[in-house]
Amino acid sequence: MATSSSRVLHTGFQVSNVEHLTIRVIPDPLEGSHLAIPKNRHKPTSQSPRYVFAHVVQGNFQFYEAEDWSSDMRLAQQMGIDAFAINIGQDITNAKQLPLIFEIAEQNSFQVFLSFDMVYYGQSGSSNDIIRLIETYATRKAQFIYEDKPLVSTFSGEVPGTFLDNNPDYDSAWNSLKEKLTFPIYFLPCWTGVDPKTVSSIDGMLSWDAWCPVSSSQDHRYRDNLAAVGKQYASPLSAMFYKHLSDSNYGNYLYPTDSWFLVEKFIHLLSLKPDFIEILSWNDYGESHYLRDPRPAANLPVDSTSSKKYVNHMPHEPLLDLISYFNVWYKSGCRPLIQRSRAYVWYRPHPRSAHSKTDSLPSPAGANATEDRMYIVLLVSSGKKLQYIKIETGDRSHFADLEEYETCNSKDVILLISIPFQVGRNQKVKVYNQEKTLLGCLNGCEITSEPEVYNFNYWSGVIEF
């Protein structure tokens, strides 16, 4: 991505120095070769189709009814997602939810597959439950099929406490399980960092390393190691990670995901070309990396405090809409035409140094590594004639001329913009054409210096212009 300075005009507000405004351009690697976004489900043009999955925690949807599932599946289809990976433990609601999930998926011509949360299947005899569930559901019409086999996945299973049947030789345990099935499966476990040469039970592998910086990503190593033994790689993709549920070691922490992390990771995957991408996640509200905002029927995790305190009124569906463009790009291998010009915005609702007087928990581990910045992605279609952007944050305003980035020319442009945010209710992004006529305005949530609870979750929004 190219980076260059921008021209900033004074408009009556206090204006920050020009170097505080960062603008980057995402170049088109195949200049002049675009693929229009089809109206119906996208079909890959390459010889080896690529697929996008979304990780769905059934435990957070235990009270979902048919219309809830149908709404989610229709939205996923619109966003270019091919299947839900249904993460299940041993919840008593499995008996109701799993038949419902497969039934509604069939009604919506959508696909799903089971992903066993091995935290709940690490006891002796657990393989019997897994065999029963695979035999029951893998032959259903909605089951996702890969290489003519029903795909089955896991969360973990490679670390103590999660071994299948509590067997440290978990690879042999899975080989034994597969031999007991009445049909073959395509086994795609999430065994992060395991050398594929040492495990014969797998057909591919998913990584959970979704939040490390792109510069230190292990995706290339994972993909190459799997390819060397003829196996497929499923790369994780996530917008962020923030958990604020308890004061335990793993109850109150975050992973820094600044600098347009979601987009930068997807650009990285476009060149990597993994066989699958699994979005982490559709609905993990406790860890804040949900892309489906909670419906009334969703049950949000509770520990010593509730995740509702940092999830409610913090929409992420604009980020889901953003990656839908890149889903098409990934599956087609060609940058799509921009059909709708949009501005996506996300930021946190308070500075990293903010102090809460009412939160029962301290500020999360990792907070000092975050940046107090607002992030913007502009998808500008050819002929839109966008020239100016005005960003108001607190008592400061930034007015930039985008002409040098060719937003006024007859070509599609993708721009990444960031600016330091300021405390205050006034958080706006406005875009203008060449005549300085307002094309669209986004009003964001307030940024406060005294939050009721520490909230390092993202607020996100989108405007179409």
Please tell me the predicted confidence (pLDDT) of residue 276.
99
| Pairing outcome for strands 373-380 and 413-420 | antiparallel
Task: Give yes or no for residue 209 having a pLDDT over 50.
Answer: yes
Residue 140's pLDDT is what?
A: 98
Whether residue 391 contacts residue 426, with contact meaning beta carbons closer than 8 Å, is answered with no
Confidence bin at 375 (pLDDT 50/70/90): very high
Q: State which CATH number among 3.20.20.220, 2.60.40.10, 3.20.20.80, 2.30.30.140 fits the domain covering 51-332.
A: 3.20.20.80
The predicted pLDDT at position 30 comes to 52
Q: Could you tell me what percent of the chain has a pLDDT over 70?
A: 92
* 118-134 tens-digit pLDDT: 999 999 999 999 999 99
- Among 37-41, 343-347, 362-366, name the one with the lowest average pLDDT: 37-41
Per-residue pLDDT of 1-23, as tens digits, reads: 444 433 444 443 333 445 588 99
Q: Is residue 42 pLDDT above 90, yes or no?
A: no
Please report which confidence band the pLDDT of residue 241 belongs to, taking 50, 70 and 90 as the band edges. Answer: very high
Asked if the model's pLDDT at residue 38 lies above 70, the reply is: no
Q: What pLDDT does residue 127 have?
A: 98
Query: Nearest CA to 70 among 107, 96, 42, 36?
Result: 107
Does the pLDDT value for residue 256 go beyond 50?
A: yes
Q: List pLDDT tens digits, range 137-182.
A: 999 999 999 999 999 999 999 999 999 999 999 999 999 999 999 9
pLDDT for residue 338 = 96
* 400-409 contact pairs (CB < 8 A, 24+): 400/6, 400/7, 400/8, 400/9, 400/21, 400/23, 401/6, 401/7, 401/9, 402/6, 402/23, 404/4, 404/6, 404/7, 405/4, 405/23, 405/25, 407/378, 407/380, 408/434, 409/382
Mean pLDDT of 196-203: 98
Question: Can you give the pLDDT at residue 11?
Answer: 42
Question: Is 146 in a helix, a strand, or coil?
Answer: strand
260-291 pLDDT per residue, tens: 999 999 999 999 999 999 999 999 999 999 99
The arithmetic mean of pLDDT across residues 53-80, rounded, is 99
Tokens coding 364 = 């999360």
A 10 A CB-CB count for 262 gives 24
Mean pLDDT across the chain: 93
Q: What is the pLDDT of residue 36?
A: 43
| Residue % of the chain over a pLDDT of 90 | 88
Which among 145, 206, 131, 137 is positioned nearest to 176, based on CA atoms? 131
Longest dimension (CA), the chain: 74
pLDDT in tens, 396-419: 999 999 999 988 888 999 999 999
Binned at pLDDT 50, 70 and 90, residue 249 comes out as: confident
pLDDT at 47: 61
Q: How many helices (H) and strands (E) does the chain have?
A: 8, 22
Q: The whole model's pTM is what?
A: 0.92
- What separation in angstroms does the CA of 170 have from each of 28, 151, 189, 309? 44, 19, 11, 39
The pLDDT value recorded for residue 408 is: 86
Lookup: tokens for 33: 């070769």
> What pLDDT shows up at residue 29?
57
The domain segmentation of the chain, as residue ranges, is 2-28+340-464, 51-332
Q: What pLDDT is recorded for position 10?
A: 40
